Amino acid sequence: MKKPALTQISELVATGLVPAEHARELAPVAEAFRIRISGEMHSAITAKDDPIARQFLPDTAELTIRPEELHDPIGDVTYSPTPGLTHRYPDRVILAVTRTCEVYCRFCFRREAVGEEGALPEADLEAALNYIAATPAIWEVILTGGDPLVLSPRRLTALMQRLSAIPHVEIIRFHTRVPVVSPARITPEMIAALRARPTTYLVLHTNHAQEITPAAQTALKNLAEAGIPLLSQTVLLKGINDNAATLETLFRTLLRNRVTPYYLHHCDLARGTSHFRTTIAAGQTIMAQLRGRLSGIGLPTYVLDIPGGFGKVPIGPGYVEVADDGYQITDWQGGRHAYHDPDHS
Protein backbone atom coordinates (compact mmCIF):
# COMPACT_ATOMS: atom_id res chain seq x y z
CA MET A 1 0.00 0.00 0.00
CA LYS A 2 1.23 3.49 -0.88
CA LYS A 3 2.26 5.71 2.01
CA PRO A 4 0.81 9.23 2.35
CA ALA A 5 2.44 12.43 1.13
CA LEU A 6 4.40 14.32 3.78
CA THR A 7 4.38 18.10 4.11
CA GLN A 8 5.10 18.90 7.78
CA ILE A 9 8.10 18.38 10.03
CA SER A 10 5.76 16.75 12.58
CA GLU A 11 4.89 14.12 9.92
CA LEU A 12 8.57 13.54 9.15
CA VAL A 13 9.17 12.98 12.86
CA ALA A 14 6.15 10.64 13.17
CA THR A 15 7.43 8.48 10.30
CA GLY A 16 10.94 8.33 11.79
CA LEU A 17 12.52 10.16 8.83
CA VAL A 18 13.58 13.04 11.11
CA PRO A 19 14.66 12.51 14.73
CA ALA A 20 12.38 14.36 17.18
CA GLU A 21 15.34 16.25 18.63
CA HIS A 22 16.00 17.85 15.21
CA ALA A 23 12.47 19.18 14.74
CA ARG A 24 13.12 22.54 16.39
CA GLU A 25 16.29 23.34 14.39
CA LEU A 26 14.52 22.39 11.14
CA ALA A 27 11.61 24.78 11.73
CA PRO A 28 13.37 27.79 10.08
CA VAL A 29 14.28 25.58 7.09
CA ALA A 30 10.63 24.65 6.59
CA GLU A 31 9.67 28.29 6.93
CA ALA A 32 12.10 29.35 4.20
CA PHE A 33 11.57 26.46 1.77
CA ARG A 34 8.41 24.41 1.65
CA ILE A 35 8.38 20.62 2.27
CA ARG A 36 6.52 18.04 0.23
CA ILE A 37 7.33 14.38 -0.39
CA SER A 38 4.74 12.66 -2.61
CA GLY A 39 3.22 9.35 -1.54
CA GLU A 40 5.14 7.53 -4.29
CA MET A 41 8.48 8.94 -3.16
CA HIS A 42 7.64 8.42 0.52
CA SER A 43 6.94 4.75 -0.30
CA ALA A 44 10.22 4.45 -2.26
CA ILE A 45 12.41 5.72 0.60
CA THR A 46 14.29 2.81 2.17
CA ALA A 47 16.40 4.73 4.71
CA LYS A 48 16.48 8.31 5.97
CA ASP A 49 19.79 8.98 4.20
CA ASP A 50 19.09 7.15 0.95
CA PRO A 51 19.25 8.93 -2.45
CA ILE A 52 15.53 9.73 -2.45
CA ALA A 53 15.31 10.92 1.16
CA ARG A 54 18.32 13.19 0.71
CA GLN A 55 16.63 15.00 -2.19
CA PHE A 56 13.49 15.85 -0.22
CA LEU A 57 14.23 15.90 3.52
CA PRO A 58 14.95 19.38 4.94
CA ASP A 59 18.46 19.91 6.27
CA THR A 60 19.91 22.69 8.41
CA ALA A 61 22.65 23.02 5.76
CA GLU A 62 20.00 24.90 3.73
CA LEU A 63 20.36 27.79 6.17
CA THR A 64 23.95 28.33 4.98
CA ILE A 65 23.61 30.93 2.25
CA ARG A 66 26.88 31.49 0.39
CA PRO A 67 27.66 34.95 -1.06
CA GLU A 68 27.64 33.62 -4.63
CA GLU A 69 24.16 32.09 -4.24
CA LEU A 70 21.24 33.91 -5.85
CA HIS A 71 17.46 34.31 -5.45
CA ASP A 72 16.99 33.85 -9.20
CA PRO A 73 20.09 31.88 -10.26
CA ILE A 74 19.25 31.51 -13.94
CA GLY A 75 17.65 34.91 -14.49
CA ASP A 76 14.01 33.86 -15.00
CA VAL A 77 12.82 37.24 -13.75
CA THR A 78 15.45 39.26 -15.66
CA TYR A 79 14.11 37.90 -18.96
CA SER A 80 10.40 37.98 -18.07
CA PRO A 81 8.22 40.13 -20.36
CA THR A 82 5.01 39.21 -18.47
CA PRO A 83 4.48 37.35 -15.14
CA GLY A 84 5.10 33.61 -15.52
CA LEU A 85 6.84 33.95 -18.89
CA THR A 86 10.61 33.90 -19.57
CA HIS A 87 11.89 34.83 -23.04
CA ARG A 88 15.65 34.22 -23.08
CA TYR A 89 16.28 32.84 -26.58
CA PRO A 90 14.50 34.26 -29.64
CA ASP A 91 12.72 31.04 -30.71
CA ARG A 92 11.40 29.75 -27.37
CA VAL A 93 9.74 30.79 -24.12
CA ILE A 94 9.29 29.19 -20.72
CA LEU A 95 5.75 29.43 -19.36
CA ALA A 96 5.48 28.67 -15.64
CA VAL A 97 1.83 27.62 -15.47
CA THR A 98 1.82 26.83 -11.75
CA ARG A 99 4.08 27.25 -8.75
CA THR A 100 3.02 23.97 -7.18
CA CYS A 101 4.93 20.65 -7.34
CA GLU A 102 4.25 17.10 -6.17
CA VAL A 103 7.62 17.19 -4.38
CA TYR A 104 9.82 20.07 -3.27
CA CYS A 105 13.41 19.23 -4.14
CA ARG A 106 15.81 20.73 -1.65
CA PHE A 107 18.23 21.80 -4.43
CA CYS A 108 15.60 23.34 -6.75
CA PHE A 109 16.86 26.34 -8.74
CA ARG A 110 13.36 27.86 -8.51
CA ARG A 111 13.05 27.16 -4.78
CA GLU A 112 12.31 30.81 -4.05
CA ALA A 113 9.40 30.75 -6.50
CA VAL A 114 7.80 27.32 -6.03
CA GLY A 115 5.53 26.31 -3.20
CA GLU A 116 2.78 28.89 -3.47
CA GLU A 117 -0.54 27.25 -4.12
CA GLY A 118 -2.30 27.42 -7.42
CA ALA A 119 -2.03 27.98 -11.10
CA LEU A 120 -0.83 31.14 -12.83
CA PRO A 121 -3.68 33.68 -12.45
CA GLU A 122 -5.92 33.84 -15.52
CA ALA A 123 -4.99 37.49 -16.25
CA ASP A 124 -1.26 36.61 -16.25
CA LEU A 125 -1.89 33.55 -18.43
CA GLU A 126 -3.86 35.71 -20.85
CA ALA A 127 -1.02 38.26 -20.98
CA ALA A 128 1.55 35.49 -21.58
CA LEU A 129 -0.52 33.93 -24.38
CA ASN A 130 -1.04 37.35 -25.96
CA TYR A 131 2.74 37.95 -25.88
CA ILE A 132 3.39 34.56 -27.49
CA ALA A 133 0.74 35.19 -30.15
CA ALA A 134 2.23 38.62 -30.92
CA THR A 135 5.80 37.27 -31.25
CA PRO A 136 6.12 35.22 -34.45
CA ALA A 137 9.73 34.19 -33.64
CA ILE A 138 8.44 31.93 -30.84
CA TRP A 139 8.48 28.40 -32.24
CA GLU A 140 8.57 26.40 -29.01
CA VAL A 141 6.77 26.82 -25.68
CA ILE A 142 8.25 25.07 -22.64
CA LEU A 143 5.64 24.47 -19.97
CA THR A 144 7.13 24.32 -16.53
CA GLY A 145 6.41 25.54 -13.04
CA GLY A 146 6.39 24.31 -10.45
CA ASP A 147 5.27 21.22 -12.30
CA PRO A 148 2.76 21.62 -15.15
CA LEU A 149 1.41 18.11 -14.66
CA VAL A 150 -0.09 19.03 -11.29
CA LEU A 151 -2.79 20.80 -13.37
CA SER A 152 -5.89 18.80 -14.13
CA PRO A 153 -6.25 17.20 -17.60
CA ARG A 154 -9.18 19.56 -18.21
CA ARG A 155 -7.05 22.64 -17.52
CA LEU A 156 -4.14 21.30 -19.55
CA THR A 157 -6.41 20.51 -22.50
CA ALA A 158 -7.75 24.07 -22.44
CA LEU A 159 -4.19 25.45 -22.35
CA MET A 160 -3.03 23.19 -25.18
CA GLN A 161 -6.00 24.29 -27.28
CA ARG A 162 -5.12 27.94 -26.74
CA LEU A 163 -1.46 27.33 -27.64
CA SER A 164 -2.49 25.26 -30.67
CA ALA A 165 -4.44 28.22 -31.99
CA ILE A 166 -1.18 30.19 -32.34
CA PRO A 167 0.10 29.17 -35.79
CA HIS A 168 3.84 29.85 -35.24
CA VAL A 169 4.00 27.67 -32.08
CA GLU A 170 5.00 24.27 -33.44
CA ILE A 171 6.46 22.50 -30.40
CA ILE A 172 5.21 22.24 -26.83
CA ARG A 173 7.60 20.81 -24.31
CA PHE A 174 6.64 19.76 -20.78
CA HIS A 175 9.27 19.78 -18.04
CA THR A 176 7.98 17.58 -15.24
CA ARG A 177 8.83 15.26 -12.40
CA VAL A 178 5.28 13.86 -12.16
CA PRO A 179 5.64 10.56 -14.13
CA VAL A 180 8.24 9.49 -11.55
CA VAL A 181 7.18 11.18 -8.32
CA SER A 182 3.40 10.81 -8.78
CA PRO A 183 2.88 8.29 -11.58
CA ALA A 184 -0.79 7.82 -10.67
CA ARG A 185 -1.43 11.24 -12.25
CA ILE A 186 -0.52 9.80 -15.69
CA THR A 187 -4.06 8.68 -16.46
CA PRO A 188 -5.55 8.16 -19.94
CA GLU A 189 -7.15 11.62 -19.54
CA MET A 190 -3.76 13.20 -18.77
CA ILE A 191 -2.17 11.48 -21.77
CA ALA A 192 -5.01 12.67 -24.00
CA ALA A 193 -4.42 16.22 -22.72
CA LEU A 194 -0.70 16.00 -23.56
CA ARG A 195 -1.52 14.71 -27.04
CA ALA A 196 -4.00 17.52 -27.73
CA ARG A 197 -1.12 19.04 -29.65
CA PRO A 198 0.52 16.91 -32.37
CA THR A 199 4.11 17.71 -31.43
CA THR A 200 4.56 17.42 -27.70
CA TYR A 201 7.81 16.51 -25.99
CA LEU A 202 8.08 15.51 -22.33
CA VAL A 203 11.31 16.09 -20.42
CA LEU A 204 11.38 14.06 -17.21
CA HIS A 205 13.38 15.32 -14.25
CA THR A 206 14.91 12.35 -12.44
CA ASN A 207 18.14 11.98 -10.50
CA HIS A 208 18.49 8.37 -9.34
CA ALA A 209 17.35 4.94 -10.57
CA GLN A 210 15.72 4.29 -7.18
CA GLU A 211 13.08 6.88 -8.19
CA ILE A 212 11.98 4.78 -11.19
CA THR A 213 9.49 2.59 -9.31
CA PRO A 214 7.31 -0.06 -11.03
CA ALA A 215 4.46 2.48 -11.13
CA ALA A 216 6.78 5.05 -12.74
CA GLN A 217 7.80 2.46 -15.33
CA THR A 218 4.15 1.88 -16.19
CA ALA A 219 3.56 5.63 -16.52
CA LEU A 220 6.56 5.97 -18.85
CA LYS A 221 5.40 2.97 -20.90
CA ASN A 222 1.95 4.51 -21.32
CA LEU A 223 3.43 7.85 -22.36
CA ALA A 224 5.84 6.21 -24.82
CA GLU A 225 3.09 4.04 -26.31
CA ALA A 226 0.98 7.17 -26.80
CA GLY A 227 3.76 8.42 -29.07
CA ILE A 228 5.06 11.20 -26.81
CA PRO A 229 8.86 11.57 -27.20
CA LEU A 230 10.49 11.25 -23.77
CA LEU A 231 13.74 12.93 -22.73
CA SER A 232 15.29 13.36 -19.30
CA GLN A 233 17.14 15.94 -17.27
CA THR A 234 19.21 15.13 -14.21
CA VAL A 235 20.90 17.39 -11.68
CA LEU A 236 24.39 16.37 -10.61
CA LEU A 237 24.06 16.12 -6.83
CA LYS A 238 26.82 15.55 -4.30
CA GLY A 239 26.36 12.34 -2.33
CA ILE A 240 23.33 11.32 -4.43
CA ASN A 241 24.46 10.67 -7.99
CA ASP A 242 27.96 12.17 -8.35
CA ASN A 243 29.71 9.06 -9.60
CA ALA A 244 29.80 7.25 -12.93
CA ALA A 245 28.30 3.97 -11.66
CA THR A 246 25.17 5.65 -10.23
CA LEU A 247 24.58 7.74 -13.34
CA GLU A 248 25.24 4.77 -15.62
CA THR A 249 22.54 2.81 -13.78
CA LEU A 250 20.13 5.75 -14.04
CA PHE A 251 20.76 6.33 -17.75
CA ARG A 252 20.44 2.61 -18.58
CA THR A 253 17.19 2.49 -16.61
CA LEU A 254 15.89 5.49 -18.54
CA LEU A 255 16.85 4.02 -21.92
CA ARG A 256 15.16 0.74 -20.98
CA ASN A 257 12.02 2.80 -20.35
CA ARG A 258 12.33 4.64 -23.69
CA VAL A 259 13.55 7.89 -22.16
CA THR A 260 16.59 9.48 -23.84
CA PRO A 261 19.00 11.19 -21.41
CA TYR A 262 19.13 14.82 -22.53
CA TYR A 263 20.76 17.09 -19.93
CA LEU A 264 22.98 16.58 -16.90
CA HIS A 265 22.80 19.93 -15.09
CA HIS A 266 25.57 21.30 -12.97
CA CYS A 267 23.75 22.25 -9.75
CA ASP A 268 22.70 25.92 -9.96
CA LEU A 269 23.69 28.60 -7.44
CA ALA A 270 20.32 28.59 -5.67
CA ARG A 271 20.39 29.84 -2.09
CA GLY A 272 21.15 27.23 0.56
CA THR A 273 22.19 24.46 -1.83
CA SER A 274 25.99 24.40 -1.53
CA HIS A 275 25.89 21.00 0.21
CA PHE A 276 24.52 19.50 -3.04
CA ARG A 277 27.05 21.11 -5.39
CA THR A 278 30.07 19.32 -6.88
CA THR A 279 32.82 20.98 -8.92
CA ILE A 280 32.72 21.29 -12.70
CA ALA A 281 36.02 19.36 -12.78
CA ALA A 282 34.35 16.46 -10.94
CA GLY A 283 31.42 16.54 -13.36
CA GLN A 284 33.75 16.48 -16.37
CA THR A 285 35.61 13.47 -14.95
CA ILE A 286 32.32 11.61 -14.48
CA MET A 287 31.20 12.41 -18.03
CA ALA A 288 34.56 11.21 -19.42
CA GLN A 289 34.16 7.95 -17.50
CA LEU A 290 30.60 7.54 -18.79
CA ARG A 291 31.73 7.90 -22.41
CA GLY A 292 33.57 4.60 -22.07
CA ARG A 293 30.72 2.91 -20.25
CA LEU A 294 27.61 3.93 -22.20
CA SER A 295 26.70 4.25 -25.85
CA GLY A 296 25.99 7.72 -27.22
CA ILE A 297 22.22 7.43 -26.81
CA GLY A 298 22.77 7.14 -23.05
CA LEU A 299 25.01 10.18 -22.71
CA PRO A 300 23.32 13.49 -21.83
CA THR A 301 24.99 16.85 -22.42
CA TYR A 302 26.61 18.18 -19.25
CA VAL A 303 25.45 21.81 -19.00
CA LEU A 304 25.78 24.92 -16.89
CA ASP A 305 23.08 27.58 -16.76
CA ILE A 306 25.25 30.69 -16.65
CA PRO A 307 24.24 32.70 -13.55
CA GLY A 308 22.33 35.84 -14.43
CA GLY A 309 20.27 34.35 -17.24
CA PHE A 310 22.85 34.16 -20.04
CA GLY A 311 21.67 30.71 -21.07
CA LYS A 312 22.81 27.10 -20.96
CA VAL A 313 26.17 25.96 -22.31
CA PRO A 314 27.83 22.52 -22.58
CA ILE A 315 30.72 22.36 -20.12
CA GLY A 316 32.60 19.35 -21.27
CA PRO A 317 34.74 17.47 -20.92
CA GLY A 318 36.70 18.68 -23.95
CA TYR A 319 38.16 16.19 -26.41
CA VAL A 320 39.71 18.63 -28.91
CA GLU A 321 42.67 20.98 -28.39
CA VAL A 322 44.25 23.19 -31.01
CA ALA A 323 47.90 22.18 -31.66
CA ASP A 324 50.65 23.73 -33.83
CA ASP A 325 49.77 21.76 -36.94
CA GLY A 326 46.19 20.70 -36.31
CA TYR A 327 44.49 19.24 -33.27
CA GLN A 328 45.16 16.93 -30.34
CA ILE A 329 42.18 14.63 -29.86
CA THR A 330 41.61 12.69 -26.61
CA ASP A 331 39.91 9.29 -26.90
CA TRP A 332 37.57 7.77 -24.30
CA GLN A 333 40.47 5.99 -22.56
CA GLY A 334 42.54 9.17 -22.27
CA GLY A 335 44.82 8.36 -25.24
CA ARG A 336 46.00 11.41 -27.22
CA HIS A 337 46.00 11.55 -31.02
CA ALA A 338 47.25 14.15 -33.48
CA TYR A 339 44.68 15.06 -36.13
CA HIS A 340 45.36 17.24 -39.13
CA ASP A 341 42.21 18.69 -40.63
CA PRO A 342 42.94 18.26 -44.37
CA ASP A 343 40.77 21.17 -45.53
CA HIS A 344 41.75 23.64 -42.79
CA SER A 345 44.05 26.33 -44.22
Catalytic residue of the set 104, 108, 147, 271: 108
Q: Which is nearer to ligand SF4, 103 or 236 (CB)?
A: 103
Catalytic residue of the set 162, 312, 319, 327: 312
The CB-of-331 to ligand SF4 minimum distance in angstroms stands at 35
Catalytic residue of the set 3, 34, 89, 327: 89
312 is catalytic: yes
Site string for ligand SF4, 178-217 (x = CB under 6 A): ---------------------------x------------
Alpha-carbon gap, residue 44 to 221, rounded angstroms: 19
Alpha-carbon gap, residue 241 to 39, rounded angstroms: 22
What's the distance, CA 337 to chain centroid? 36
Taking CB under 6 A as the criterion, the residue among 70, 105, 212, 230 binding ligand SF4 is 105
DSSP string, 227-275: T--EEEEEE--TTTT-SHHHHHHHHHHHHHTT-EEEEEEPPP-BTT-GG
> Which range touches ligand SF4 (CB under 6 A), out of 23-31, 77-85, 108-116, 280-288?
108-116
> Which range touches ligand SF4 (CB under 6 A), out of 8-16, 98-106, 183-191, 237-245?
98-106
User: Position 74: which residue type?
Assistant: I
104 is catalytic: no
Q: Which is nearer to ligand SF4, 101 or 143 (CB)?
A: 101
The CB-of-127 to ligand SF4 minimum distance in angstroms stands at 22
Window 52-91: residues binding ligand SF4 (CB under 6 A): none
> Is residue 104 close enough to count as binding ligand SF4 by CB under 6 A?
yes
267 is catalytic: no
Q: Which is nearer to ligand SF4, 56 or 302 (CB)?
A: 56
> Is residue 108 close enough to count as binding ligand SF4 by CB under 6 A?
yes
305 is catalytic: yes
Taking CB under 6 A as the criterion, the residue among 42, 110, 265, 266 binding ligand SF4 is 110
Q: Among candidates 213, 216, 265, 211, which has minimal Cα distance to 236?
A: 265
Q: Do 114 and 34 form a contact (C-beta atoms < 8 A)?
A: yes
SS3 label, residue 39: helix
Q: Among candidates 298, 228, 301, 236, which has minimal Cα distance to 267?
A: 236
> Is residue 163 close enough to count as binding ligand SF4 by CB under 6 A?
no
Q: Among candidates 276, 275, 273, 213, which has minimal Cα distance to 241?
A: 276
The CB-of-104 to ligand SF4 minimum distance in angstroms stands at 5
Q: Do 98 and 145 form a contact (C-beta atoms < 8 A)?
A: yes
Q: Do 78 and 309 form a contact (C-beta atoms < 8 A)?
A: yes
Window 126-145: residues binding ligand SF4 (CB under 6 A): 145
Q: Rounded to 5 degrees, what angle do the CA atoms 329, 330, 335 make?
A: 120
> Which range touches ligand SF4 (CB under 6 A), out of 21-29, 103-111, 195-203, 333-341?
103-111
Q: Can you say whether the dihedral through the CA atoms of 28, 279, 54, 257 is positive or negative?
A: positive
339 is catalytic: no
| Cα-based torsion angle of the residue sequence 287, 292, 294, 297 in order, rounded to the nearest 10 degrees | 70
Catalytic residue of the set 185, 263, 268, 277: 268
Footprint on this chain of ligand SF4 (rule: CB under 6 A) = 101, 103-105, 108, 110, 114, 145-147, 177, 205
Catalytic annotation, residues: 88-89, 92, 101, 105, 108, 110, 268, 305, 312
